[in-house]
Amino acid sequence: DAGVIQSPRHEVTEMGQEVTLRCKPISGHDYLFWYRQTMMRGLELLIYFNNNVPIDDSGMPEDRFSAKMPNASFSTLKIQPSEPRDSAVYFCASSLRTGNTEAFFGQGTRLTVV
Amino acid sequence: AQSVAQPEDQVNVAEGNPLTVKCTYSVSGNPYLFWYVQYPNRGLQFLLKYITGDNLVKGSYGFEAEFNKSQTSFHLKKPSALVSDSALYFCAVREGQAGTALIFGKGTTLSVSS
């Protein structure tokens, strides 16, 4: 398996524009996680899915953020409208069903909002 | 609620010397504990995990970690540091039941000098 695949790797957008980040989890993994990494706040959990269903979105910072998982092999994280403070590295990760298994991370998307 | 603390933002060690990166955790149930490493502009890579059993866990690249339940700690160790070990290290906890996400500490930068 190629691992968790995220696209794009880098995104530069203007304030107010819509941004969509994409993730393909490892085949067979039931859990998918979105994290955000910043210098100030470290690695924050935004939302996670189990079998395509959102389980906990309490980490989503504002209504401008939304995430979907229409099928087992694809998820999106959308920011609309984007703001400069959304600039960060966004990671997607996936793991198997059981709680004692590690999560595997994608390479991340570096988002810059100017 | 789960939480992880990494008390040191940075750890400096000379090549060949032993290294320790500290981590303490807080969960209401039994913990599953993980260490990840992040190299510049890369995603997080899994190093090792503690699930149950032997308190000393061995992982990738010669790293090991010691679980101490009474001190709620899970420190990462290596007997002899390499310059190539220089990276950002994250400790993470997942409460001992299926379905919960990994919660990460803020990370510790390890710098190994030659």
Q: Do residues A100 and B32 lie in contact, with contact meaning Cβ atoms separated by under 8 Å?
A: yes
Q: Which residues of chain B have pLDDT under 50?
A: none
User: What are the residues of chain A with a beta carbon less than 8 Å away from any beta carbon of chain B?
Assistant: 4, 31, 33, 35, 41-43, 45, 48, 50, 55-56, 91, 93, 97-100, 102-108
Give the pLDDT score at A1: 66
Answer whether residue A23 shows pLDDT above 70. yes
Give the pLDDT score at A85: 96
Q: In whole angstroms, what is the distance from residue B27 CA to residue B96 CA?
A: 9
Q: Do residues A76 and A20 lie in contact, with contact meaning Cβ atoms separated by under 8 Å?
A: yes
Whether omega before A81 lies within 30 degrees of 0, making that bond cis, reads yes
Answer whether residue A11 shows pLDDT above 90. yes
Tell me what the mean pLDDT of segment A75-93 comes to.
97
Closest Cα in chain B, distance from residue A82 (Å): 23
